[in-house]
Amino acid sequence: MSALAERNARRAPKWLTRHETLLALILIVALIGLGEFNSRFLTVENLLNQGRLMTEIGLIALPMTFIIITGGIDLSVGAIVGLSAVMLGYSWKNFGFPLPLAIVFALAVGGLAGFVNGFVITRVKVPPLIMTIATLALYRGLAEGISQARSVRGYPEWFYVLGQGEVFGVPTQLLILIVLIVIAGVALDRTTFGRSLYAIGSNETAARYSALDVDRTKLVIYTLSGLASGLAAIVLVSRVTTTRMDMGMGYELDAIAAVVLGGTSIFGGAGTIWGTVIGLVMIQLLKNGLALTGVKGDATIVVIGVALILSVLIASSLQRRRE
């Protein structure tokens, strides 16, 4: 017993061996390294621009963290981005909605898409993986069918403030992301809602017997995931000034990679918003760093794929050693 206490005392303090701390250290090293390598990298302008570019994935990665903590997954987020974007353009152009109403409508479509996921997952008990693969096909198909693969452009000037403008010198959407990160972080850490996510992910049956409303909680997080994807769609449309049905393709990979890289266990029960934010920044740095060294975009998704598998491998082998 005393030997154990002694060994614990000699071991590094707990916060230092945490996944997030290690990641943050790697992140700082990577930042300095990239800065040394390329003088264009460590400029305020470039960093703010990278923040702008990572917002869409970031918005999606926040509720994805909640979902993965409960042991679920949402593969339909990219398709929801496509569907919401199409509904924004379609309702504005074809229904003649005023743009503010079209924005609300697109958000509502995103929320509804997420709600349908959550509803079938909780009521019919379809596994989240299968449900969201099915709706990935369905939502993308709806986006394609409704838009007939036509794009919509020519939005009014004020709409571009969201995706291209800045407030106090900071990109507008980055401010929104930061506010939502703080809200999500506090909600996960300090509220019964947040703590119940861990309980569900660790042992769902135990959570049910502890009188947690598991189904309602799941319904809420999948709906949030749809809403966040809808918001990401609006930010994306505002940034690139056009609406296309193939928008958001592959976003699920980036969002899941950010969450898992940030130390959230793919098996559920563990994870933090702060970790996800670090994972998100690392992925964006990876993309930017590779782009600055002349690597094309397609090669960066190879690196993200490798990072995804490796981070899960390392996390699970660390876990096994601890046990």
Partner 1 sequence: MSALSVTAAAPRASLLRRLASQEALLALAVIGLAIAVGFVNPRFLAYRNLADILLGNAYIAIAAIGMSMVIISGNIDISVGALIGVLATVSGSLAVAGAPILVCWLVPLVLGVVIMAAQGAVVAYLRIPAIVVTLGMMSILKGGLISVTGGKWITDLPQGFHLADLSLFGAPMPVVIMVAATALAALWMRWSPSGRAIYATGGNAEAARLCGVNPQRTVVMVFAIHGLFAGIATLVYATQLRVIQSTTPPGLELTVITASVVGGVSILGGVGTVVGSTLAAILIAEITSALVFIDVSPYWTDAVRGALILATVVADIQRRRRRAERGVRV
Positions touching partner 1 (CB under 8 A) are 73, 75, 120, 124-127, 129-131, 133-142, 144-145, 147-149, 250, 252-253, 256, 260, 266-267, 295-296, 298-302, 304-306, 308-309, 312-313, 316-317
Alpha helices in 95-154 (DSSP H): 99-123, 128-147
Shortest approach of partner 1 to residue 206 CB, angstroms?
A: 20
Token duo for residue 243: 């609406």
Shortest approach of partner 1 to residue 5 CB, angstroms?
A: 32
Shortest approach of partner 1 to residue 268 CB, angstroms?
A: 11
Shortest approach of partner 1 to residue 295 CB, angstroms?
A: 8
Instruction: Single out the residue of 223, 221, 176, 219 nearest to residue 194, CA to CA.
Output: 221
Considering the complex, state which of residue 144 and residue 215 has its C-beta at the smaller distance from partner 1: 144
Considering the complex, state which of residue 130 and residue 179 has its C-beta at the smaller distance from partner 1: 130
The one-letter code for the residue type at 176 is I
Shortest approach of partner 1 to residue 61 CB, angstroms?
A: 15
Shortest approach of partner 1 to residue 262 CB, angstroms?
A: 14
The C-alpha R_g of the chain, in whole angstroms, comes to 20
Considering the complex, state which of residue 101 and residue 314 has its C-beta at the smaller distance from partner 1: 314
The one-letter code for the residue type at 111 is G
> What are all long-range contacts of 88-93, with beta carbons under 8 Å and residues at least 24 apart?
88/233, 88/234, 88/237, 88/243, 89/147, 89/151, 89/152, 89/237, 89/243, 90/146, 90/147, 90/152, 90/243, 92/152, 92/155, 93/152
Considering the complex, state which of residue 25 and residue 130 has its C-beta at the smaller distance from partner 1: 130
Token duo for residue 12: 């590094």
Residue 238 near residue 162, CB atoms below 8 Å: yes
Considering the complex, state which of residue 157 and residue 298 has its C-beta at the smaller distance from partner 1: 298
Residue 245 near residue 144, CB atoms below 8 Å: yes
| Cβ within 8 Å of residue 91, ≥6 positions away | 97, 101, 102, 105, 106
Considering the complex, state which of residue 51 and residue 254 has its C-beta at the smaller distance from partner 1: 254
Shortest approach of partner 1 to residue 90 CB, angstroms?
A: 13
| Rounded distance between C-alpha atoms, residue 6 and residue 160, angstroms | 60
Token duo for residue 262: 């940030």
Considering the complex, state which of residue 51 and residue 71 has its C-beta at the smaller distance from partner 1: 71
